[in-house]
Structure 1
Amino acid sequence: MLGLELVVALGAAVVVGSLLAPRISITQPLLLVLLGLALTLVPEFRGVGLPPETVLLLFLPPLLYWESLTTSLREIRRFIRGIILSGTLLVVITAGTVAAVAHALGMDWGPAWIIGAAVAPTDATAVAAIAHGLLPRRQMTVLHAESLINDGTALVVYGVAVGFATGSVDISPLMVTGEFLYSFVGGVTVGVALAWAMLWVRRRIENPLAGNAATLLTPFVAYLGGELVHASAVLAVVSCGLYISQAAPLAVSAYTRQQTVAVWGIGSYLLNGALFVLVGLALPSALGGIVAGQAEHGQPLGSVLLVAAAVYGTILVTRLAVLVVSAYVIRAVDRRPHQRKLRTTNRARVMSTTAGVRGAVSLAVALAVPQDYPARDAIVFVTAFVVVASLALQGSALPRVIRWSRIPEDTKVTEELLLAKRTAIEEAFKALPDLAREINVDDEVLERIHHEYDEHLAAITAGFDDEDHPAVARTRQYARLRLALIGHKRATVVRLRDEKTIDDTVLRTIEGELDAEEVRLARQQETE
């Protein structure tokens, strides 16, 4: 029963945290860690956790896959050089600097490098949770893309560090370089190949439930493929997701896609939240192991606290230094006009440093350390300290830093949204007569569709911010009236069910149709 109780406790903590965080002005990830700590007050939950290998295999593939599906590939291409530098070089430098600082404070090189690998990658999901939409689009996109790449880099560093710590591999510069190259190239190759294969399968699945079952399997298949060839399983998942994100719009039905968004949205939300709760659950046992005084393997609590504080300071200083130095080096080497348009300010780099919080992946790496590894308690404690400190300190400071950075408002997405809507309607409008002839539509139907498209095009051309324009007013009134009618129809159908005039099956069928129409109209209003 303990497993079931743990599942219920994790789910309840995530729900309570999401509801409570906005009311008490605390970031949700930090509150979830605190709720995990609170759960340890229940005797049955003390010392409870998932097996180390389960953490990486259960949490990482779906989280990374959903992040890659929802990232802009165009923006990745635009800022590719900075993303690669932040996702690879910055991670290696951060891991090495952290390891050197931890070792200088008395920690062995093995656990020091593992800590460096754990705290090196940033977490864009945690950033999104604490930024509340305040972070400019460019910085948010770059952080998302960086977090996808740096996860793979950090796990390669982690694998080398564990091999070094356990003495299972001989470390040399040539070996490490070869490991990185093979891991990256192999992971991307496997991911693209499996994405092509999964799309081939998806195009032949018409049943939405079966299609979404295949979608849920995709990140695990990609992760398994990367593991089987001993390449980066993380990059296999990421490259698979990026490839599918470009091809899926024309390969998957609208109904399947609606289910996919709903399933992945709630799934990634629960997995992310559960990871933070699990860290809270793991903290007391890690602290207890340190306090118990594993003199032959570990360090006193005071020494571990000093290491944790030093590591946190190190990741901030290292990130800012690398961002500033690399920017000026690139500026000195590349003087092309295109490159000048991509330049930003040191204030923006301070904002990027503040936004570079640590989260789910760092926790997963720390919790994946084998239970019998002597310094595991210190590794988990230091990593959790860094994650909590970044969420608490950087999370509270980020809104003020964003305002201080004075980044100009980016209206590009809004402009492109209106362009896409207008172009789609104009071209559909032109094709309307031919399409009507092909499917033999009556003139009355054609005239009605023609009028609706004409009205909508007039509203978009006028601009939905122009409240006084007649076409805009009519479009908004039309949507509100349709929503009101949908609510009335739903109440009528429920009344018929309550009167036992219709069956629950009939209710659910009509309710599904009404829900789809309501969602469409509601989304239309949101984007207008």
Structure 2
Amino acid sequence: MSVTQVVLLLFIGYIVFTIDKKKKSVPIPVVLLIIGIGLSFIPYFSTVEVTEKIIYEIFLPGILFVSAYKYSAKAIKRHGAVLATLSTLGLMATALLLGLLTYMVGGWFGSISFLGAMVIASILTPTDPVSAVSVLEEAADEQIAEVVDGESMINDGTSIVLFTVLSGMYLGENSFQLTGFLGEFLYVSLGGVIVGVAFGWLCSKAVHITHHHDYQVMLSIIIAYGAFQTAEHVGFSGVLGTVAAGIMLSYEFEHMNREGHYREALSGFWNVVEPSLLALVFLLIGITATPYLASANWIMAIIIFVASIVIRYLIVTAVLAIFHNNRTLDKQKQAFLVSWAGIRGTMSVFLILSLHAKSPEGSEALLSISFSVVVLSLIIQSLGVYPLSRKLEN
């Protein structure tokens, strides 16, 4: 991908953000995705090649840090049990149920192995509610937005571990052992969190060294990408490292006398970086996904997409019933909104591209089905968040 192509894509993103007057009913990621699909038919953009490393090492740390930095540490305390359960046991249960159903449905349309079905399920379990959280904050209970946002940040780390194990089994690289999986999961997850907390705490103290806004912004970039790279270098989860660093920094700022002073410069910078990253990533998703969409079995993709929402609803309902003491009707509304807002996005695309890098020739069916479900999720669920949240809250 050339510098000129990046600049042109940023310019397209700028135009979309500037003229889009209905960000609620027509979320910007949907518009960018559709434009990206259109750009794939233009020879100049059809040559754009996006690798899993570009998504993982350039886009994800920045996007995750912004979400984590804006996320209140008080929300972690309020919803900690729900977030931890949804992001671990809930995600694994969702992957198992969705994998079983995908395997069953795959038998109707062709031949997808059980391990192949489980790989698809692991790709589709992480959530990425970029276009949903801001809408939920305005149209629904703010606590619903906190659950959706918090879960999406944490479950990215879980999904990578799950995908790594299942894709390794699918490609014949390793076998599944429960104790080994749990040990790997705890090692990668806890290690990433420890690295992130250390980075966030140290940098929150270092910010006092200088009162110059520009240098404080530089420090925040070091936190976002430094925590990620450090955690990855020692074998931990870079995703959880960046998330923990952002939340820790936010927590430390909340306990400072001059919180507004420190947040002013960082927010000014990251409020520009975030839409720039989002514009690029959703345009690139559209461009990258198009070749796979042409060969996808859309009936099968639609069934899996609907099933993913139903299964997620059942899991979320069970978790909220255990941890939230609200009225039954409220719990049903909350469960449905949390389920619907669990949109598949950037992390799922990274996992798809990772599978492509590992097995470019032998996984075409899995890639096309996964990409088509991600596109359905981005378009249908994003468009439905605002009207559904308004209807259920009235």
Match for 1:326 among 299, 304, 319?
A: 319
The equivalent residue for 1:55 is: 55
Counterparts of 1:8 and 1:309, CA distance in 2: 35
Counterparts of 1:348 and 1:138, CA distance in 2: 9
The equivalent residue for 1:17 is: 16
Structure 1 residue 43, shift from structure 2 partner:
0.8
Give the partner amino acid of 2:391. W
Counterparts of 1:97 and 1:370, CA distance in 2: 24
Q: Is the 8 A contact 1:202 1:252 kept in 2?
A: no
**Larger RCO, structure (CA 8 Å, separation 6 or more):** 2
Counterparts of 2:300 and 2:68, CA distance in 1: 34
Q: Is the 8 A contact 1:66 1:268 kept in 2?
A: yes
Structure 1 residue 143, shift from structure 2 partner:
0.9
Give the partner amino acid of 1:322. I
Q: Is the 8 A contact 1:130 1:395 kept in 2?
A: no
Quick one: structure 1 residues 342 and 78, their matched pair in 2 at CA, closer, same or farther if it must change by over 3 Å?
A: farther
The two structures have a TM-score, normalised by structure 1, of 0.67
Deviation per residue, 1:29-50 (Å, 9 max, x gap): 1111111012123212214222
1:353 lines up with 2:358 in the alignment: no
Aligned partner of residue 325 in structure 2, secondary structure? helix
Counterparts of 2:338 and 2:145, CA distance in 1: 9
Q: Is the 8 A contact 2:193 2:241 kept in 1?
A: yes
Deviation per residue, 1:475-523 (Å, 9 max, x gap): xxxxxxxxxxxxxxxxxxxxxxxxxxxxxxxxxxxxxxxxxxxxxxxxx
Give the partner amino acid of 1:18. F
The equivalent residue for 2:234 is: 229
Q: Is the 8 A contact 2:200 2:246 kept in 1?
A: yes
After superposition, where does 1:87-486 map in structure 2 within 5 Å? 87-104=87-104, 105=106, 106-128=111-133, 131=136, 133-248=138-253, 250=256, 257-287=263-293, 290=295, 301-302=296-297, 305-328=298-321, 330=322, 340=325, 344-371=330-357, 372-406=359-393
Mean CA deviation greater in 24-33 or 41-50: 24-33
Counterparts of 1:54 and 1:6, CA distance in 2: 15
Quick one: structure 1 residues 269 and 307, their matched pair in 2 at CA, closer, same or farther if it must change by over 3 Å?
A: same
The equivalent residue for 1:436 is: none
Counterparts of 2:22 and 2:67, CA distance in 1: 27
Structure 1 residue 366, shift from structure 2 partner:
2.1
Structure 1 residue 381, shift from structure 2 partner:
3.3
The two structures have a TM-score, normalised by structure 2, of 0.88
Quick one: structure 1 residues 268 and 377, their matched pair in 2 at CA, closer, same or farther if it must change by over 3 Å?
A: farther
Structure 1 residue 112, shift from structure 2 partner:
3.0
Structure 1 residue 254, shift from structure 2 partner:
5.8
Aligned partner of residue 207 in structure 2, secondary structure? helix
When the two structures are aligned, how many residues end up with a matched partner?
Answer: 385
Counterparts of 1:115 and 1:387, CA distance in 2: 11
Q: Is the 8 A contact 2:16 2:32 kept in 1?
A: yes
Mean CA deviation greater in 23-32 or 273-282: 23-32
C-alpha RMSD over aligned residues: 2.6
Q: Is the 8 A contact 2:128 2:344 kept in 1?
A: yes
Aligned partner of residue 170 in structure 2, secondary structure? helix
Q: Is the 8 A contact 2:50 2:288 kept in 1?
A: no
Structure 1 residue 342, shift from structure 2 partner:
8.6
Counterparts of 1:109 and 1:156, CA distance in 2: 19
The equivalent residue for 1:36 is: 36
The unaligned stretches of length 5 or more in structure 2 are none
- The structure that has the greater radius of gyration is 1
Structure 1 residue 264, shift from structure 2 partner:
0.7
Counterparts of 1:64 and 1:77, CA distance in 2: 19
The unaligned stretches of length 5 or more in structure 1 are 291-300, 332-338, 408-528
Give the partner amino acid of 1:154. S
% identity of equivalent residues: 22
Q: Is the 8 A contact 1:40 1:281 kept in 2?
A: yes
